[in-house]
A and B are shown apart, each in its own frame.
Chain A
Amino acid sequence: MMRKTWCFAAALAATTALVAPLTSAARADDSFYAEAGKPYAGTTIRVLDEITPLQETLSKIVPDFEKETGIKVEWELLNHFEVINKGQADMLSGRGHYDAIMLHGAQLGPMLSAGVIMPLDKFVADSKLSDPGMNVADFIATPYKTTAFFEGKQYGFINWNYNHVYWAREDLLSNPEEMAAFKAKYGYDLGPAKTIEQMRDIAEFFTRKKGEKLAGKPLESDFYGIVLEGIKGGSTFSNLWVNFIENYGGDLLDDKGMPNFDTPQVVAALKMWRELWTFAPPGIAEYSLVDVPTVMGNGIAAQSLAWSDFVLGIDKPGVSPYAGKFIYGPIPAKAGNEAHRHADAEPSVTVINAASEHPEATFLFLEWLASKKQQDKLIEMGEGGVPIRESSWALPAIKDSDNPTLFAAMKSSLDVAKARPKMEKYPEIIDAMSGIAQEVGLGQMTPEQGAKEGQAILVKLCGGKSCTLPE
């Protein structure tokens, strides 16, 4: 909700009315924050976060913090690109309007190299500020450790564990007629894809023209075996990179951060990528995070790899006519390489702006957000969500969810999720490489050319040196 100077009183009244019923009971276990917040009562901190239903739910909890500590929080939510633009402009210019800013994993490299994130270590070491009940061991380990720390310093807790899952149409995969036909053609049972090869077969099998039959009914329009994000930018390349190339045993960089894109594994992954595009809707090269959920929600495609938090918005009655007909699974692995599976994820943190004038109060807020109690509340109120704590998996909202396969898939992804490598030139690299992903996908460039050209771009952008920040 926005605050206008001329309606300040009205907004205040409304906020108070909204907050009152939620915050009537401050219980004993809140005593740490109540005590720790005392020196900072009356301070106002400004926090910038990304708008998704997860944060919209969280915004209903934030007033509790104000009640407990007396620290006022101006909680601003903007869309994905705006958070990046405005948040970075604020940090990089040293303006310090926002005390805390949500950073996607990919932004960490550039922001760390610009030196505009405040390390948390001195606050963590301060017994007055450090919540003894934090229990960091409960954080889902790999995303937390790879995201929040750099060069031995801590820059945040974990806030948002965005991750990819496999998303398919259950009603089609379990249709007896289709199952029989699939078995006859491919020699194994139809079901949610476990491997990339199965995903390919399913994509091929379900790609049909208007007039052909799907699950016994003639199609009124073309139907596609798979839909993926394919726009220039967005998460097109990270999908290709982690869900395909890494599962094939390849990678963007080697262990030392040197470009390592021109390898047989990368070529093989690019071949699969190209093939899958032929089973995707014709508009795939313009599909962004806007289109993929729309296409799945409208029943135009059989399967997808998509951000699991998308699903929370689409797979509900009244939003999509196919709600309840979806099934989810772990990201399919490369057949034969299941032991080293990978799933695309972008663990993200809210960091303290180096120019912040209220770092202590902000630190308390970040701790409070990540604390078990608030996380539990967030997941219960949102009737699910994307957990950052292991203990959250056991909460009724997740354990007894109407959508159990989604949370099982999410857990499986988060088990192997890791942060993006911290590269100063991350945005340039992604921009150039997603161009390659498009050209290979559209068949304008062979997989071999794609691997060569990608390697050349990486070498050029990183100046022949390591692409990652020196640890």
Chain B
Amino acid sequence: MAEAVNRPEGSRGLFWTTIVIVYAAIMLFPIFWMATMMVKPNDAMFARPTQWLFVPTLDHFTYVFEQGFHWSLLTSFVLCTVSTALVVVIGTPAAYAFARFEMKAKDDLFLFILGSRMAPPVCLVIPFYLIYAKVGLLDTFLGLTLAYMTFNLSFYVWVLRSFCRDLPVELEEAAALEGWSKVQIFRRVVFPLLRNGIVATSVLCFIFAWNEFLFAFMLGGDNVHTLPVSIPKLITSQGVRWGEMAVVGMTALVPVLIVVFILQRHIVRGLTLGAVKG
């Protein structure tokens, strides 16, 4: 933005930085607290008065990995990557079409897409279960990949469409005049320009899939056992295994954190790019 470009870095930047850091510290405190629970012995977990210092233990990690947690991590990763990739492949052209072209009943088609996200999933999971039981899709990667389309495809198409609208139409026109094919225009002009939007939106889709519980639980099973599904097992009738819960909860954050960290230069286009553009 203009302000960011025009003003030299200085005390104002520092001021805002401080604000953001203070805000982050307050908001993230609960997460920090949960992180400490990963290595906290059980008898210090909720001790009164609160124990800030304790001898760390690795027991919780041991239990969680004995339970095959790392396989859930892998399953989640494969499942979410595949389903997000599928969303990007089939959703990007649709978002582009809705932003660029006139179609008959376009508004209705566009709302139909959003419609798939409207009904509470808890009401749909039994119809899904009954259908999947008949066609043999229960506890398969394909089954869950398809089920995740219901909430992610609509999200992706709707959000990406607003990114598509911001693209300058002249580039596509120029390419068309040079005789490029539609596929070429899409691949060489639209796709690169949309890259930031695609990355930002698909990261959000990945996170939705990563954290999804209900479908993963009811439609999954021993073969397809995702991370969120392994959490309720720690809530036993002898109380919650809090330390183990913290381990699963926090380790589940790490891959997403890494993904966001690596991809953020696309999400946050950054000043350098803005300067070039300006």
Is there a contact between chains A and B in the complex with CB atoms less than 8 Å apart?
yes
CB of B238 within 8 A of CB of A95, answer no
Contacts of B126 in A (CB 8 A): 89
Check: B233 CB closer than 8 A to any chain A CB: yes
CB of A318 within 8 A of CB of B42, answer yes
Contacts of A365 in B (CB 8 A): none
Check: B10 CB closer than 8 A to any chain A CB: no
Given contacts A51-B236, A313-B236, contact A82 B223 (CB under 8 A): no
Chain A positions 27-70 with a Cβ under 8 Å from a chain B Cβ: 50-53
For residue B122, give the distance in angstroms from its CB to the closest CB of chain A. 11
A319 to B244, CA, bound (A): 13
CB of B237 within 8 A of CB of A289, answer yes
Chain A count of residues within 8 A CB distance of the other chain: 47
Q: Which applies to chain B's interface (DSSP): helix, strand, loop or mixed?
A: mixed
Stretch in contact with the other chain, from B64-72, B99-107, B154-162, B198-206: B64-72
A89 to B218, CA, bound (A): 9
Contacts of A314 in B (CB 8 A): 238-239
Check: B189 CB closer than 8 A to any chain A CB: no
CB of B235 within 8 A of CB of A79, answer yes
Stretch in contact with the other chain, from A164-172, A189-197, A304-312, A375-383: A304-312
How many chain B residues sit at the interface, stated as a range, is 20 to 34
A5 to B71, CA, bound (A): 11
A313 to B240, CA, bound (A): 10
CB of A4 within 8 A of CB of B46, answer no
For residue B73, give the distance in angstroms from its CB to the closest CB of chain A. 12
Residue of B nearest to A2 (CB): B68
CB of A4 within 8 A of CB of B75, answer yes
Which single member of A1, A53, A74, A86 contacts B238 (CB below 8 Å)? Answer: A53
A89 to B233, CA, bound (A): 18
Contacts of B68 in A (CB 8 A): 1-2
Given contacts A7-B71, A299-B48, A319-B42, contact A52 B222 (CB under 8 A): no
A309 to B49, CA, bound (A): 27
A1 to B75, CA, bound (A): 14
Contacts of A82 in B (CB 8 A): 217, 232-233
Contacts of A401 in B (CB 8 A): none
Check: A290 CB closer than 8 A to any chain B CB: yes
CB of A290 within 8 A of CB of B240, answer yes
Which single member of A53, A79, A294, A310 contacts B233 (CB below 8 Å)? Answer: A79
A4 to B34, CA, bound (A): 30
For residue B59, give the distance in angstroms from its CB to the closest CB of chain A. 9
CB of A53 within 8 A of CB of B236, answer yes
CB of B43 within 8 A of CB of A320, answer yes
- Which 7 pairs between the two chains have the least Cβ-Cβ distance? A313-B238, A293-B239, A95-B133, A2-B68, A79-B232, A319-B42, A321-B43
Given A80-B237, A294-B239, 15 other A-B contacts at CB below 8 A?
Answer: A2-B71, A2-B222, A4-B223, A5-B223, A82-B233, A93-B130, A294-B240, A297-B46, A298-B46, A299-B48, A307-B237, A310-B239, A318-B41, A318-B42, A321-B47
Binding site for A on B (CB under 8 A): 41-43, 46-49, 67-68, 71-72, 74-75, 126, 129-130, 133, 138-139, 217-218, 221-223, 225, 232-240
